[in-house]
Amino acid sequence: MGLDYFRINGGNRLRGRIRVGGAKNAALPIMAASILCEGEVILHDIPRVADVRSLCELLGKLGVESDWRSDGALRLVVRDEMNCKAEYDMVRKMRASICVLGPLLAKRHAAQISMPGGCAIGDRPIDLHLRAVQKLGAEVDLVSGDIMVKARRLRGGEMFLGGPFGSTVLGTGTAMMAACLADGLTVIEMAACEPEVVDLANFLNACGASISGQGTPRIVIEGVRRLGGCEYRIIPDRIEAGTYMVAAAITNGELLIENCRVDHLLAFIDRLSAIGVQVQKTGEGAEVTSARRLEPVDVTTQPFPGFATDLQAQLMSLLCLADGNSVITEKIFPDRFLHVAELSRMGARIRKEGPTCIVSGVKRLVGAPVMASDLRASAALVLAGLAARGTTVVNRIYHLDRGYVSMEEKLRAVGADIERRSDGDV
Q: Which residues bind ligand EPU (CB under 6 A)?
A: 25, 28, 96, 124-129, 163, 165, 168-171, 192, 196, 309-310, 332-333, 375-376, 403
Minimum distance of ligand EPU from residue 240's CB (angstroms): 10
Minimum distance of ligand EPU from residue 112's CB (angstroms): 18
Q: Which C-beta is closer to ligand EPU: that of 169 or that of 414?
A: 169
Question: What secondary structure letter does DSSP report for 346?
Answer: T
Q: Which C-beta is closer to ligand EPU: that of 11 or that of 163?
A: 163
Q: Which C-beta is closer to ligand EPU: that of 287 or that of 374?
A: 374
Q: Please name the residues in contact with 43: beta carbons below 8 A apart, sequence gap of 6 or more.
A: 27, 30, 31, 73, 74, 75, 76, 231, 232, 233, 234
Q: Which helix (H) or strand (E) holds 8?
A: strand 4-9
Can you name the residues that pair with 254 across neighbouring β-strands?
Answer: 15, 289
Comparing CA positions, the residue from 158, 207, 209, 166 lying closest to residue 187 is 158
Angle at 63 between CA 57 and CA 66, to 5 degrees: 55
Angle at 141 between CA 135 and CA 146, to 5 degrees: 120
| Residue type, position 335, single letter | D
Minimum distance of ligand EPU from residue 174's CB (angstroms): 9
Minimum distance of ligand EPU from residue 53's CB (angstroms): 14
**Whole-number Å distance between alpha carbons of 395 and 174:** 34
Minimum distance of ligand EPU from residue 363's CB (angstroms): 30
Q: How many CA atoms lie within 13 A of 96 on its CB side?
A: 23
Biggest CA-to-CA distance, the chain: 63
Question: What secondary structure letter does DSSP report for 294?
Answer: P
Total number of residues shown for the chain: 426
The active-site residue out of 84, 99, 119, 207 is: 119
Cα dihedral 98, 104, 109, 110, rounded to 10, equals: -40
Minimum distance of ligand EPU from residue 267's CB (angstroms): 12
**Whole-number Å distance between alpha carbons of 13 and 415:** 7
Minimum distance of ligand EPU from residue 391's CB (angstroms): 27
Q: Which C-beta is closer to ligand EPU: that of 7 or that of 129?
A: 129
**Whole-number Å distance between alpha carbons of 8 and 391:** 6
**Whole-number Å distance between alpha carbons of 193 and 169:** 8
119 catalytic, yes or no? yes
Q: Which C-beta is closer to ligand EPU: that of 322 or that of 343?
A: 343
**Whole-number Å distance between alpha carbons of 103 and 86:** 12
Q: Which C-beta is closer to ligand EPU: that of 196 or that of 408?
A: 196
Q: Which C-beta is closer to ligand EPU: that of 294 or that of 340?
A: 340
Catalytic residues: 119
